[in-house]
Structure 1
Amino acid sequence: MNDLLTALLLGLIEGITEFLPISSTGHLLIAQHWLGARSDLFNIVIQAGAILAICLVYRQRLLALAFGLGERENREFVLKVAAAFAVTAAVGIPVRLLGWKLPETVTPVAWALILGGVWMLLAERLAERRPERGLTWTVVVLVGLAQVVAGVFPGTSRSAATIFVAMLAGLTRRPAATEFCFLVGIPTMFAASGFAFVEYLAEGGEGEDWAALAIAFAAATLTGFLAVRWLLGYIKTHRFTGFAVYRIALGAALLLGLPAGA
């Protein structure tokens, strides 16, 4: 397949799956298993394209926070977003430097999809029985840690891990949990992209197809914007059950269709 067309396809996959609780990393690894592996820089920078999409979707909310810091509620919310990011950085950077991450092969991803789907079914039902406590500091810390867990276990889904841990910790309303977790993802993924770019330069800064990367980035931004807009409307009246069933079915199909050792 033409390299630019492959990059476009991977960008579309990233944009569609980054914020749906079905694991963008898992889907990219699966796609690259057949389409050919890409560099860490490619994978993380196209995730930044999806994060740019979330900035566009939440542009009014972000502007209101930026120009409304004189209000106590806005200051507290921004502080909690920053604190969740700080937890992720404090734990995630050492984890990354130590190389603590499951192999990026299809079998672990398939199991993560299945187990994550079961977790979603159970977590949503449990969260519905818990009292609403709002955006507490417990939610903040757990969301920060959940981002690290999602990075260590490809196929987990950052959005699924963070949204459901937030709901279980007391931020039980789906739209509120989703908004906080998505906004925490903005500094997290932009920082990850910057970290990957520094690593790329430290290794010589050669070998990357910038045209392919630009196409994938643009595709991820556009489709990410559309996917988030759709999801925010969907969760107002629907549960996450459909996504959980999809994860379990996809994981099972991958396990049944894999050759030994894949």
Structure 2
Amino acid sequence: MDTTLTAILLGIVEGLTEFLPVSSTGHLILASEMFGYDAAEWAMFNVVIQLGAILAVVYQYWGTFWNAGMGVLRLEPAGLRFARNILIAFMPSAVLGLVFKDYIDVMLGSPELVGWALILGGMAIIAIEKIAKPGEEVAVSDLPLKQVIGIGIAQCTAMIPGVSRSGATIMGALAMGVNRKTAAEFSFFLAVPTMIGATALELFQNGDDLMDGTTRIGWSEIAIGFAVSFIVALIVIRLFVAYVSRHGFTPFAWYRIVIGAVALIWLTMR
């Protein structure tokens, strides 16, 4: 497949799935199997274009980030609590991600694991939706530390490809009584340091080839994927919060189960 077309395709997949509880990484792994491109060759591309999706979050919630940043500089309680909550929730996955990176890289090469993770994750979403009792809507800065730490620990399960970072954080929040809208927005905000950290680590470890121009996938493909993922993610973010506030997450759970089952059947029969 042409590299430009592949970059557009992967940018769409990233933008559509990064903030939905369906696993962007899992979809990118399955896409590599379905369309036959070299997943290893596009591995750094897949990580870096996440910054396009991150930019969509910053753009959509610019006022929140600005107020929080100014609040930190002015030592205002709300701004300090916002920064504290995001950093505390980020730390568990940051530490474990560094410690177990080699094991995570091995798991990224298993599309079968993605299929099972999609199915089991879908079942978990259905169960949590049935038993969770979400509380009243509150600001992210007002979440208590107990819930923040729990969400940070839940995010660690997303190191398994197919689990979904947003799904893990949102479902972890719901299980602890957080309102759906607050859970979704906290997941968006938490994605910023998480994916910036993942991108920085990837560029630090594998960026020399990209800078030297020795890879077939270069800056032009990354620019295309970045732009596409930004546009698509911005649309998804704007629609997602309104949708889940009214309908919940169960439709995404059934989608996961169907896609996971189809993927496993296809991988067995190919």
Superposed pair shares fold, TM > 0.5: yes
Alpha-carbon deviation of 1:50? 0.9
Alpha-carbon deviation of 1:217? 0.9
Alignment of 1:116-195 (within 5 A): 116-128=121-133, 135-151=143-159, 153-171=160-178, 173-195=179-201
The one-letter amino acid paired with 1:102 is M
Alignment of 1:68-147 (within 5 A): 68-69=71-72, 70-97=75-102, 99=104, 101-128=106-133, 135-147=143-155
Query: May I ask how many residue pairs the two structures share in their alignment?
Result: 258
CA contact (8 A) 1:40 1:196 kept: no
> Structure 1 CA distance, aligned partners of 2:210 and 2:30?
28
The one-letter amino acid paired with 2:218 is D
Equivalent residue number for residue 29 of structure 2: 29
> Structure 1 CA distance, aligned partners of 2:135 and 2:197?
34
Equivalent residue number for residue 15 of structure 2: 15
Q: Which SS does the other structure have where 1:236 is aligned?
A: helix
> Structure 1 CA distance, aligned partners of 2:61 and 2:210?
36
TM-score, structure 1 as length reference: 0.91
Alpha-carbon deviation of 1:249? 0.8
Q: Which SS does the other structure have where 1:258 is aligned?
A: helix
CA contact (8 A) 1:138 1:169 kept: no
Equivalent residue number for residue 45 of structure 2: 42
TM-score, structure 2 as length reference: 0.88
Q: Which SS does the other structure have where 1:178 is aligned?
A: helix
Q: Which string of whole-angstrom CA distances, capped at 9 and with x for unpartnered residues, describes residues 58-97 of structure 1?
A: 1111111112334312211211111111222122211115
RMSD: 2.1
> Structure 2 CA distance, aligned partners of 1:258 and 1:98?
22
Bigger mean CA deviation after superposition, 65-74 or 4-13: 65-74
CA contact (8 A) 1:135 1:170 kept: no
> Structure 2 CA distance, aligned partners of 1:104 and 1:229?
32
CA contact (8 A) 1:46 1:217 kept: yes
> Structure 2 CA distance, aligned partners of 1:29 and 1:103?
7
Can you give the 5+ residue segments of structure 2 that lack an aligned partner in the other structure? none
The one-letter amino acid paired with 1:28 is L
**Relative to 1, partners in 2 of residues 1:256 and 1:100: Cα closer, same or farther, differing over 3 Å?**
closer
Alpha-carbon deviation of 1:219? 0.4
> Structure 2 CA distance, aligned partners of 1:204 and 1:250?
33
**Relative to 1, partners in 2 of residues 1:143 and 1:43: Cα closer, same or farther, differing over 3 Å?**
same
Alpha-carbon deviation of 1:232? 1.4
Identity %, equivalent residues: 37
Q: Which SS does the other structure have where 2:100 is aligned?
A: helix
> Structure 2 CA distance, aligned partners of 1:33 and 1:219?
21
Alpha-carbon deviation of 1:155? 0.6
Equivalent residue number for residue 203 of structure 2: 197
> Structure 1 CA distance, aligned partners of 2:145 and 2:201?
27
CA contact (8 A) 1:54 1:182 kept: yes
> Structure 2 CA distance, aligned partners of 1:167 and 1:31?
30
